[in-house]
Amino acid sequence: MDNRKLAEAADKMLNAAKDKTILLIGDFCLDVYFHIRSEDSEASLETGFSVRRVNTLKDSLGGAGNVCANLCALGVGRVIPVGVIGNDMFGYEMQRLLKSFPSVKDELTIQEHGWTTPAYMKPIIDGKERERIDTGLRNKVENDVVQKLLSDIREKIKSADAVIINQQLEDSIYTDEFISGLNRIAAENPQVPFFVDSRTLQSSFKGVWHKLNTHEVAAELGIGLDPMKSFVPKAELEEMMKKYREKTGDALIVSRGEYGAMAYDGKFVSAEGLSMLTELDTVGAGDSFLSGFVLSMISGHPLEYALHIGNSVSGVTIQKLHQTGTCSPEELRNIISNRDLTFNADVKTYRVTEPFLMVVVTSLDEIRKRPPIEYAVFDHDGTISVLREGWEDIMENCMMQAVTGGKDVSPELSEKIRKSNRDFIVRSTGIQTINQMSMLVDIVRKWGLVPEQEILTPQQYKDIYNDALLAFIANRIDNVRHGLLTPSDVTVAGSIAFLKTLAENGVKIYLASGTDQDDVRHEAELLGYAQYFTGGIYGSVGDMRNDPKRQVLNNILASDGVNPERLAIFGDGPVEMRVAHANGALAVGIQSNEVRRYGWNEAKHMRLLHAGADILIPDLMEYKKIASFILKKEIL
């Protein structure tokens, strides 16, 4: 979906929100976070046991409370909470947090006996969550409280635009009598849509929209899935959704994590997932998604827009670590305007040798229908040059030094940091170095091993990395300058010949890299192919807001008469593939083995595929065949 159209839909929803009332029924819980550093531990004089000193104590609304917080953050005019708390300190804190929202005027019902307010106490030690301590797991709702709740709902639904039902706990307000009462109220009020997100009782609700994830819909049908894998192929998921609708008679929405979301109300609608670079905390993601989805639906948007907006709201909150975060209107607008999507999640690829060796993602017949290519954009490192091969190890070492501040840490902690850093490097490949270093600042702060006053700026971290990288590749550059290595020795096989062929056939070629512009230009001149880039050589100029790859494409498309179907983008990173896919250009993924300079590197496969590549090739050795294919004429 076009980001501009989605942004317009989001604005419409946000403007309408102030006039909407949502009745929110559910298990209201508290999340309590204790931030602790392991080195602050000491032995108790009284018991001799280890004492953990809490540096920071934070609490936030969980369960239905998190849905309320998300709705309020999006600007809903009124949220009417319906639920039960105990006469205890957590109950008082729950009421205080709810009443801190101007949109919440009503209070939860207090059950004096047999009810403890549900709270999840979460110690965060050295930036990592440990074993929780929970309260409120053995509650039993009294019959007169159930009757009061149903009476309140019958009265308050008269002013509601939608009803959201949230069920988290097994021992809660959701007795058979209460669920039957809710089903009757839903049947009596068909003008008000009901949306249910239930952990263990989903199919007990009737006449509602059911919100589930892939594991939940499978469990409702008695199908076992690997709990460590969230991906279910689209065709298989569609069959499950059909069976669930046959079982319940109701419409359903299924969230697919990074692969997006699907809805089925007699016809299927789907939305791609967001591709995120930062470390994620998915606690509360479903609540955020549902808040955005419901608000979009009651604002009059079609299902597809509601799914995309729900994904975008949750995309904001999952980037907020160790908190059940919310999404503000400004954050929603920002993520929509800058979002990257996960493509080809359900595409079955296949490898062919004709017309040349490649993995086909988009139908070859569809690609053949495209007009001849007149413009081409190339990434540099890993696509043409392999001078910087091994940069990942340099960045990993620099990140390790930054996160630890050069201090010794335990082997266990060191391995956790190193694994996290490697994951970040894989996810962020292809973006500007300055943007990676900006994210590094947040990573350093998250681990908490470096005092705030000693954390460097993004530019300072970039300078450290660049110095280390340039020292690492200096010998290769000297060898090229002195003729000990030829340009072909330090470039992807066939790349220089391919550039020359395209240029000789009138293709206007651009070079766009996340590496500093001066360095890219000097390396292109050193290796003898700078003259082929008649469209210009572009690299990072230190502006985090303007990625050169996106900027180059925008400049090309803004030119008079440029048809994106006549543009091909070549690269080994996800950034350029997403740019191509989102704008209708041909996305050619170079799945290059930079050590050998030819052949497949399987480590690059999934990131190029999910970024939207149309075809994948290992190198450019078959440059004449590739040129013939995209230029629609025989190159001899």
* DSSP calls for 444-465: HHHHT-S-GGGPPPHHHHHHHH
Quote the pLDDT of residue 575. Answer: 86
Vertex 154: Cα angle to 148 and 156 (nearest 5)? 95
Pick from 480, 576, 492, 496: nearest CA to 529: 496
SS3 content of the chain, % helix, strand, coil (to 5): 45, 20, 35
Task: Assign 41 to helix, strand or coil.
Answer: coil
Structural Rg of the chain based on CA atoms: 28
Dihedral of CA atoms 537, 461, 383, 589 in degrees, nearest 10, equals -110
Q: Distance between CA atoms of 327 and 339, rounded to whole angstroms?
A: 15
Q: Distance between CA atoms of 419 and 575, rounded to whole angstroms?
A: 22
Q: Distance between CA atoms of 117 and 64, rounded to whole angstroms?
A: 13
Q: Are 284 and 325 in contact (CB under 8 A)?
A: yes
Q: Are 162 and 189 in contact (CB under 8 A)?
A: no
Chain-centroid distance, C-alpha 16: 26
Residue ranges in the chain whose pLDDT is less than 50: none
DSSP 35: E
Quote the pLDDT of residue 335. Answer: 92
Q: Is the pTM of this model over 0.75?
A: yes
Is 3.10.20.600 the CATH number for 350-386+491-631? no
Is 3.40.1190.20 the CATH number for 3-38+51-342? yes
Q: Distance between CA atoms of 588 and 613, rounded to whole angstroms?
A: 6
Q: Which amino acid type is present at position 233? A: P
Quote the pLDDT of residue 559. Answer: 77
Task: Assign 597 to helix, strand or coil.
Answer: coil
Quote the pLDDT of residue 302. Answer: 95
Q: Do domains 3-38+51-342 and 350-386+491-631 have the same CATH topology?
A: no
Q: Distance between CA atoms of 560 and 568, rounded to whole angstroms?
A: 17
Pick from 594, 607, 600, 605: nearest CA to 392: 594
Q: Distance between CA atoms of 277 and 532, rounded to whole angstroms?
A: 33
Q: Which two tokens stand for residue 121?
A: 């106490």
